[in-house]
Amino acid sequence: MAISNGKIALVTGANRGIGYETAKDLGLQGITVILGVRDVASGQAAASKLQALGVNAAVVHYDAAQPETAGQVADYIQQHFGKLDILVNNAGVLKENLVGSNNSSTVSRAVLHDTFETNFFAVIELTQTLLPLIQLAPAGRIVNLSSILGSLTLHSLADSPIEQAKSVAYNTSKTALNAYTVHLAHELKHTNIKVNAAHPGWVKTELGGEHAPMEVEDSSKTSVRLATLGTDGESGGFFHENDVLPW
């Protein structure tokens, strides 16, 4: 069993995929992990798997499409733990083809709205709601799961390595999330809280698809590193593992 180090982490969308791997790897470091999930039953099943590995895991209902659940998460954490050391905003959606088409002239208002609701607005809502609890931690860490597809610099290169990936709703939602990361890090720069954006890689998940080159077991490296940064660690950056990515 992992020996508790007293830290508390919330990982949204943690019942499977990147979120689950992130919760597992944080938990194996002795951090108590709270799985924020839409489906509590699937969350409980994931928590049981983690507990079998010796991880101290709990479950709370969180649905990015239901803003009121952010307050319910805050109430749960306040009641059971009294603070929050780590917030990993992992939950996200993709409602377009990831690669092979540019839908800039055809993307619907509904797809844009639903994508931004989960990938951007809900992240801000939850982060703002939980910030008072993070401020109670000795060294708060906020990790926003972004994507290299949010990089305007890379998209605009003549020889862009992501030239084929022009899913406008998903990509721009991650660009917006990157901007929020920079702004929040700036606001908190004189505090003990660090805020960073993470590109986990192109991962074989339900969102990433079966042709992605990275196995899900390797997908948590960037989030875990940023969630456990020391006092001399970065803030306001965009990273994949140890590499700095361009905005």
Farthest-apart Cα atoms in the chain, separation: 53
C-beta of residue 144 within 8 angstroms of C-beta of residue 92:
no
Does 170 qualify as catalytic in the annotation? yes
Say which residues have a Cβ less than 8 Å from residue 121's Cβ, sequence separation at least 6: none
The stretches of 5-105 forming alpha helices (DSSP H) are 17-27, 40-52, 68-80
134 by Cβ neighbours in 10 Å (0-12 / 13-18 / 19+) ranks as: buried
Q: Which residue among the candidates 20, 62, 170, 180 is catalytic per the annotation?
A: 170
C-beta of residue 195 within 8 angstroms of C-beta of residue 184:
yes
Q: What span, in angstroms and rounded, lies between the C-alpha atoms of 197 and 183?
A: 12
Residue 205 has phi, psi (to 5 degrees) of -125, 180
Say which residues have a Cβ less than 8 Å from residue 24's Cβ, sequence separation at least 6: 33, 50, 53, 55, 220
By annotation, the residues acting in catalysis are 170
